Amino acid sequence: MYELYWSQPQIKARAHPNFLKVQSALMNFWRSSNPNSPISLSQTLTYADRLRIRQPGDAKFALGPHIDGGSVERWEKHGYGLGGVYDKVFEGSWEEYDPWDVSGRVSAVMDNYNGLGACSMFRMFQGWMSISNSRAFEGTLLVNPLLQLSTAYLLLRPFFQPIKQLEDVPKEAYLAADNWVFSGSEMTSELQGATPGHGQELNAELHPHLELDTSMVHMPEVKPGDFVAWHCDSKFSSSQP
């Protein structure tokens, strides 16, 4: 990972007319339930990212499933709670949660703990521009496309615990709804995989119902100049080449 941010090739790529068109098109996915939200959905801003080069067979930077843009801040009233981003989920109406509503994101705070790579501004998407050919199982990116469902599950996960453990029953019985109960007075402060100052880590043990081994899908094959983007709440990882 090279800490290069403002090299001439990077600046030219970010300022290319085609890239700006893609940015504008991506912004159209978002909408605002509050017309007075202080945000523009028509003017693009450039986020300066680094340069990453992975050699064939390199498994050192093969990140597991995780989410950037904060971790414990998603549950904190002084984090995402400032904008009420996930209120519908916590109120029990997860079906009404709109991951594309931008209004609450403006005032949400995603970096209460100054984590490495944290950002104080709202990033609608994360992404990268390819400078080589890459396809599935060649070190490319995997994402979980079930945005509303996976986010609701992730946020509600700390409130539930299994009756029978996985080592005691078959997987199907372990995941069954009647094997999980509201923690109530037994609830702890654990937010599975969330640590102050770090992005949230996901795995099969802590988040069994995400079924990460089957719900994470590879990005399509990319060529030099292709741009890949994913929603700021997306669960994503890098595959081993």
DSSP label at residue 35: T
The pLDDT of residue 140: 85
Structure tokens at 158: 């700390």
| Integer Cα distance of 233 and 70 in angstroms | 10
Q: pLDDT at position 1, please?
A: 80
| C-alpha triplet 190, 191, 196: angle, nearest 5° | 100
- Contact in structure between 230 and 216 (CB atoms under 8 Å): no
CA distance 110 to 118: 8
pTM: 0.91
The CB-side HSE value for 11 (13 A sphere, CA atoms) comes to 3
* Residue 240: predicted pLDDT: 64
Residue with tokens 């509503």: 101
* CA angle at 237 for the pair 147 and 92, rounded to the nearest 5°: 25
- What's the pLDDT at 180? 97
Residue by residue, pLDDT tens for the chain (241 residues) are 888 889 999 999 999 999 999 999 999 999 999 988 899 898 888 878 888 887 777 777 778 899 998 999 999 999 999 999 999 999 999 999 999 999 999 999 999 998 876 778 888 998 889 999 988 888 888 999 999 999 999 999 999 999 999 999 999 999 999 999 999 989 999 999 999 998 899 999 999 999 999 999 999 999 999 999 999 999 888 776 6
> Which pLDDT belongs to residue 241?
60
What pLDDT score was predicted for residue 50?
87
Q: Is 167 exposed, middle or buried (0-12, 13-18, 19+ CB in 10 A)?
A: exposed
Residue type, 18: N
The angle subtended at Cα 74 by Cα 70 and Cα 79, nearest 5°, is 80
